[in-house]
Chain A
Amino acid sequence: MGMTHVAGKNKGSIILYALSTCVWCRKTKQLLNQLGVEYNYVDVDLLQGEEKTKATDEVKKLNPRCSFPTLSINAQCIMGFDESRIQEALKP
């Protein structure tokens, strides 16, 4: 699946499932960029067919409502742009 890699400090496995049109998803990307961490993201709305199904299945495993953004930080799932939880999970 077409994950986009963003270089930065290694804080373990960080995967962001986002939508290209969602402002909260954009804020989540901005926060991760600001924190300077390494992460991978995918804009699920830009995927097609099997890739899209595969991505939504992955999101549903983490977050059954399949809402966006869904952020996985070392297997901890954060739903929505929850700035304080993201900061907390990525504390030095």
Chain B
Amino acid sequence: MNSGLEVSWEEVKKIFDRLQREAEPSGYHLNPDVTFTQELVKGLLINEKRYGYWACPCRLASGNKAEDLDIICPCDYRDPDLTDYDACYCALYVSGAVLKGEKKIKSIPERRPPAEERKSPKSRSGDQKKFSLPLPVWRCRVCGYLCAREEPPEVCPVCKVKKDRFERFNKLPPTLSVVF
């Protein structure tokens, strides 16, 4: 159980307070179960000492930063997991519904692809002749914030309006061509 790396209560508290302070104005919510969340923060700090970066405490880091970039907190999978499961993989972040007590969190399936698939990213260069984007672009109708992801965020990180104020933005007129 002992990782051999000690993290003090003061260090945990300091980072916990900072994350708490930063999450809300950006439209994210820390898990309201303080004991649970502080344990995760402790895990992040142990991983920082161990690997030099905040590898997800609930995933096995390789120790090679380039290989682990996608699982550095907040991880690449946080937002889709919040959309689908109301919590990120480790449950440091939760949805508004969980915060209000309307939903409960549980252990969720791992979305991160296995190592072999991560090593061969699907045709990054792709076919550049056609106009195609890897993800839909969403626009906040209130403040114009744009983001490229499967679903709009739960709350606009800029103006805090809800998901239902977003519209699809990447339906460009056929006359427009985009060259990357």
Contacts and interface: CB of A to CB of B under 8 A. Distances in A.
A46 B43 CA distance: 13
Contacts of B106: 81
Interface residues of B, number: 28
Interface size class of A (residues with CB under 8 A): 20 to 34
A64 B112 CA distance: 11
Contacts, number: 69
Contact of B110 (A20, A25, A45, A65): A65
A21 B114 contact: no
Interface in B16-59: 36, 39-40, 42-44, 46-47, 57-59
Nearest to B116: A64
User: Would you call the interface of chain B mostly helix, strand, loop, or mixed?
Assistant: loop
Interface in B89-114: 90-91, 106-110, 112-114
Contacts of B90: 22-24
Contacts of A67: 59, 109-110, 112
A40 interface: no
Contact of A23 (B2, B58, B110): B58
Interface of B: 1-4, 36, 39-40, 42-44, 46-47, 57-61, 90-91, 106-110, 112-115
Interface of A: 19-27, 43-46, 56, 60, 64-68, 79-82
